[in-house]
């Protein structure tokens, strides 16, 4: 048996329960990973509260958590390239969870842990980094010399997005709070905008792409800064196609998907020193409710990570 954090009903942090559940067993092409650290993401508290539409009452009880770093405990018969003790990081499919001592991981979901990172830092990477990567490159098609505005460039996803865009040779503008201006510049942003003290539409125009990590009024104001034929990409639902057409631009909404090849490439960029990982706070596994509360209600720079007892 193992300990896992599950929800049996939707609600506040009080519905998070530490349950004893069977240790899952890997299928032929899977591995069992002993989890050393797990990231906390907005999707976790949205799922807990019942506001994430992909998880409904019929899916409960459910183990929360989408990404992890750990070591291989055992392998299925076709997981030939991995051995017990190998360090990996992964983005799990929605049907499994990382707030646990162990998780079964599929080949498409994991890559070797970057050698330059410890498990806490590595756990902060998969979901946030893949969200940034897929938004910029797979949905936005961002390339060298193009101009992108990234909303929320100091957050978990945003701080990766700024760095990834720079590795592709893009010109990067980003909106952050006044306290994060220097942080965003240190990430490599070419133009940093205080979203409270400045109106971004007065600072940028004729952009090739906007990466929307905020939604709401910020998204609505973003149509006007795109060039004709530009694209607004959002990780927070599908932008309005009619509004996109009215501005002569394109729109794309998406949800990050596991991708072992992209995760491996991100790991190489990290080990090469081109991308750095920022962990805002860490919490022990037993304080998962406090970790979610800090992410939901705090203004954090980087990621929140849960650490498991050794």
Q: Give pLDDT tens digits for 21-75.
A: 999 999 888 999 999 999 999 999 999 999 998 899 999 999 999 999 999 999 8
| Contact yes or no for 31/111 (Cβ under 8 A) | no
Q: Are residues 132 and 117 in the same domain?
A: no
Q: Are residues 52 and 149 in the same domain?
A: no
Tens digits of residue pLDDT in 87-119: 999 999 999 999 999 999 998 999 999 999 999
Give the closest residue to 113 by CA, choosing from 91, 89, 135, 132.
89
According to the model, what pLDDT value does residue 310 have? 58
According to the model, what pLDDT value does residue 80 have? 66
Is 211 part of a structural domain of the chain?
yes
Q: Which of the residues in the chain have pLDDT under 70?
A: 79-80, 309-310
Q: Are residues 145 and 175 in the same domain?
A: yes
| Contact yes or no for 106/95 (Cβ under 8 A) | no
Phi-psi region of 205 (alpha: psi -120 to 50; beta: other; left: phi over 0): beta
Is 287 part of a structural domain of the chain?
yes
Domain interval for residue 61: 2-125+277-307
| Contact yes or no for 235/133 (Cβ under 8 A) | no
Q: Are residues 154 and 246 in the same domain?
A: yes
- For 265, phi and psi rounded to 5 degrees? -65, -40
What CATH number should be reported for the domain holding residue 283? 3.90.180.10
Is 266 part of a structural domain of the chain?
no
d(CA 98, CA 266): 20
Residues facing 191 on adjacent strands:
173
- For 3, phi and psi rounded to 5 degrees? -95, 135
Question: Looking at 238, 253, 268, which one is the last position of a domain?
Answer: 253
Domain count, the chain: 2
Q: Are residues 97 and 11 in the same domain?
A: yes
Q: Are residues 139 and 67 in the same domain?
A: no
Question: Looking at 253, 269, 292, which one is the last position of a domain?
Answer: 253
Is the pTM of the predicted complex or chain greater than 0.85? yes
Is 233 part of a structural domain of the chain?
yes
Is 210 part of a structural domain of the chain?
yes
Q: Are residues 101 and 168 in the same domain?
A: no
Is 22 part of a structural domain of the chain?
yes
């Amino acid at each position: 048996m193992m300990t896992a954090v599950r929800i049996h009903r939707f609600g506040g942090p009080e519905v998070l329960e530490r349950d004893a559940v069977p240790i899952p067993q890997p299928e032929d092409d899977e591995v069992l990973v002993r989890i050393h650290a797990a990231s906390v993401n907005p999707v976790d508290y949205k799922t807990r509260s019942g506001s994430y539409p992909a998880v409904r009452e019929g899916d409960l009880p459910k183990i929360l958590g989408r990404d992890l770093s750990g070591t291989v405990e055992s392998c299925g018969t076709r997981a030939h390239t991995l051995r017990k003790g190998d360090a990996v990081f992964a983005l799990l499919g929605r049907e499994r969870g990382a707030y646990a001592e162990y998780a079964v991981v599929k080949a498409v979901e994991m890559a070797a842990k970057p050698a330059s990172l410890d498990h806490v830092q590595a756990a902060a990477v998969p979901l946030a980094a893949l969200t940034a990567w897929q938004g910029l490159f797979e949905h936005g098609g961002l390339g060298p010399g193009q101009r992108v505005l990234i909303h929320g460039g100091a957050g978990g996803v945003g701080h990766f997005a700024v760095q990834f865009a720079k590795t592709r040779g893009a010109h990067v503008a980003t909106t952050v709070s006044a306290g994060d201006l220097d942080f965003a510049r240190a990430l490599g942003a070419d133009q940093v905008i205080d979203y409270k003290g400045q109106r971004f539409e007065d600072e940028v125009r004729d952009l090739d792409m906007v990466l929307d990590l905020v939604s709401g009024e910020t998204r609505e104001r973003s149509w006007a800064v795109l060039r004709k034929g530009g694209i607004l990409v959002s990780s927070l639902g599908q932008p309005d196609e009619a509004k996109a057409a009215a501005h002569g631009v394109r729109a794309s909404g998406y949800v990050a998907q596991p991708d072992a090849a992209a995760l491996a490439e991100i790991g190489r960029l990290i080990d090469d020193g081109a991308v750095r990982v920022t962990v805002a706070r860490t919490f022990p596994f037993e304080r998962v409710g406090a970790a979610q509360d800090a992410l939901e209600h705090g203004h954090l720079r980087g990621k929140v990570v849960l650490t498991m007892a050794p």
